[in-house]
Amino acid sequence: MDASVSKGAEVSERPRTSDSVEVAPIKSVGIIGAGQMGNGIAHVAAIAGYDVAINDLKKEMVEKARALIERNMSRQVSRALITDSEMQAALRRIKYAPDLAAVGDKDLVIEAATEDEAIKRKIFAELCPKLKSSTILATNTSSISITRLASATDRPERFIGMHFMNPVPMMQLVELIRGIATGDETFGAARRFVESLGKVIAVSEDFPAFIVNRILLPMINEAVYTLYEGVGTVESIDKAMRLGANHPMGPLELADFIGLDTCLSVMQVLYEGLADSKYRPCPLLVKYVEAGWLGRKTKRGFYDYRGEKPVPTR
């Protein structure tokens, strides 16, 4: 691991100019999106002592997220990872934000909406006028250009990529990605925040899909090609990688866990951003997404999850 990942370093190896507005210490966090990633980020932030406000299009989504957070925290209590009093205190820190104005006074706002650039840009256009001038704006995108997203905001110097891994409470890594305009103070504050959550940082340059997904998603896409070409079945491909490469989860099972729509979005970003045919999304992956078979979240993907036990669909 290089020096840019070492704990306590304040900036990456590339010199940058300072922010035009001083960055305040982060004490409160706003989260846009109450889905799989948003509720996980809220979970770890609340445990770490931050006041958290979650906004989503529907209040029911936030209520569902809060119930899931409580269940996940209860598991942590049962495993003696946190105490019941710590769980109760953390749950009290999580509030529903009825609109974007309700997150406007937070020190850090993390966008965790779906992996769709048009949707993210629309959120930023509505959100930025409601933010205080010193607020850091972060995106949890897993593949989209930080520089390009930052250009859709009023604060490119205080904009950063903060890519959490799924499931957030369990996974140690967070990728930090600077856009071309991201200031040193912003980077330092983001690093300190992530480390305060007990996470480990890997610094990535702003290239399509960053580090983890640049490596992981082409492997998953190749597994789909292996299925598409009839080299092996769903079961045999996953078994081969679990037992032959010692992977904890087979690539097709992992694709279902991530969401096939997200997998396709990342591959499209790689294919369009790097113009290399080796990143072409497999037609079978496209077909599954078109069918609405997106994996675990829709109960069908490369496996059918509607029964007691997952059953391969091919």
DSSP secondary structure string for all residues of 260-310: HHHHHHHHHHHHHHH--GGGPPPHHHHHHHHTT--BGGGTBSSEE-SSSS-
Could you identify the residue written with the tokens 């004490």? 27
Residues 64, 57 contacting (CB under 8 angstroms): no
Q: What pairing do the DSSP bridges indicate for beta strands 173-178 and 159-164? A: antiparallel
CB environment 112-126: b (16+ within 10 A), e (fewer):
bbebebeebbebbee
Closest CA to 161 of 180, 140, 143, 182: 140
Are 193 and 26 in contact, with CB atoms under 8 Å apart?
A: yes
Cis check for the bond before 167: say yes or no (omega within 30 of 0). yes
Distance CA 302, CA 283 (A): 14
Active site residues: 142, 163, 175, 213
Pair of tokens at residue 309: 């036990």
Position of tokens 């959100």?
A: 127
DSSP-assigned beta bridge partners for residue 201: 174
Burial 167-193 (b: 16+ CB within 10 A, else e): ebbeeeebbbbbbebbbbbbbbbbbeb
